[in-house]
Amino acid sequence: MRTKKRVVLMGTFFMATSLFASVDAEKIYDAKCAMCHIKTVPSNRADMVAPALIGIMRHVKMAYPKRDDAVDFIVDYVQNPTKEKAVCMPQKIARFGLMPSQKGNISSEELKEVAEWMYDNYPPANFMGCGSGMQKRPTFSSFDTNGDGKITPEEFAAFQNARIGNSQGQGCKCVNKRRNRSTFADFDLNGDGVITKTELLEVRAKKQQARASAGYPMRKASNAPSFESIDRNGDGKITPEEFSNRFNF
């Protein structure tokens, strides 16, 4: 009986110790990391200054499935970040820049605790990515039907029309909304196959003015994705593929 009691007491002690360590690690994260890396994706992604923790850990676990390897990577990267070590997508670095070294801001011991807490708690098991429907995101080849490595406005329009047709065949209730959604051609004012920041802002301003004049102000206009967030490769131009994926982050 005494042996059983000891086992139970020891088990309870270790569980409590682990719980307190997790709470402490989260407090450290909130104090030293969360000002940039918020835990979940906000409704207005334009306010983000760095990738969210939920997305970071998805990529970390894809590259380092084992807990010890992931923790070692996080500890090393946070102190000595380089583009070569990064596991996030290149467009994230293009948008947010390479994070600065956190040496002097967080100790190695604290960092190890935080890294273990991050691995144990993020992302949730059902998390598929920071954009809704990421698993259904169209690929480049979905647009480039002739396989010449380029997406023309005609190919883009054909893909969109086919998509709407499929939705109608499935009895989708959101077809009418999609019909009213802006197309790539609406923004490509000079018809050169790409959208510049000037074109994007000009068309948006005209649409807002037109809706306001008609008594229907644009809803959540401030939440519209920024040019920089749509221009995934940071080349100053929005391609048809980037435009199609503008709501997937």
- Is it true that the peptide bond before 240 is cis, omega within 30 degrees of 0? no
Residue 70 has pLDDT above 60, yes or no: yes
Residue 60 has pLDDT above 70, yes or no: yes
Say what the pLDDT of residue 11 is. 46
Domain shared by 92 and 140, yes or no: no
60 exposure class (CB count in 10 Å sphere: 0-12, 13-18, 19+): buried
pLDDT in tens, 140-188: 666 667 777 677 777 777 777 776 655 555 544 444 444 456 788 889 8
User: Angle of helix 108-121 relative to helix 67-79, nearest 10 degrees?
Assistant: 130
- Residue at a domain's end among 96, 121, 146: 121
Number of domains into which the chain is organized: 2
- Residue at a domain's end among 57, 87, 121: 121
pTM of the predicted protein model: 0.48
Domain shared by 218 and 195, yes or no: yes
Is 126 inside a domain boundary? no
Domain shared by 116 and 8, yes or no: yes
pLDDT in tens, 6-47: 544 444 444 444 444 566 999 999 999 999 999 987 777 788
Is 96 inside a domain boundary? yes
Average pLDDT in the chain:
77
pLDDT band at 107 (very low <50, low <70, confident <90, very high): very high
Range of the domain at 166: 134-244
Would you state the structure tokens that stand for residue 67, as one six-digit string?
A: 């807990």
Cα torsion for 100, 103, 104, 110, to the nearest 10°? 120
**Sign for the pseudo-dihedral over CA of 164, 166, 167, 169:** positive
Domain shared by 14 and 99, yes or no: yes
Is 15 inside a domain boundary? yes
User: Angle of helix 53-63 relative to helix 67-79, nearest 10 degrees?
Assistant: 120
Domain shared by 89 and 187, yes or no: no
Say what the pLDDT of residue 142 is. 66
Is 189 inside a domain boundary? yes
Domain shared by 116 and 7, yes or no: yes
In sequence order, the 6+-apart residues with CB closer than 8 A to the CB of 227 are 197, 200, 201, 238
pLDDT in tens, 115-153: 999 999 998 877 766 554 444 455 566 666 777 767 777
Domain shared by 165 and 69, yes or no: no
118 exposure class (CB count in 10 Å sphere: 0-12, 13-18, 19+): buried
Domain shared by 35 and 68, yes or no: yes
Say what the pLDDT of residue 232 is. 81
Domain shared by 160 and 104, yes or no: no
Domain shared by 9 and 33, yes or no: yes
Say what the pLDDT of residue 221 is. 57
- CATH number of the domain that residue 16 is part of: 1.10.760
Domain shared by 9 and 115, yes or no: yes
Domain shared by 173 and 62, yes or no: no
Using only C-alpha atoms, the chain has a radius of gyration, in whole angstroms, of: 23
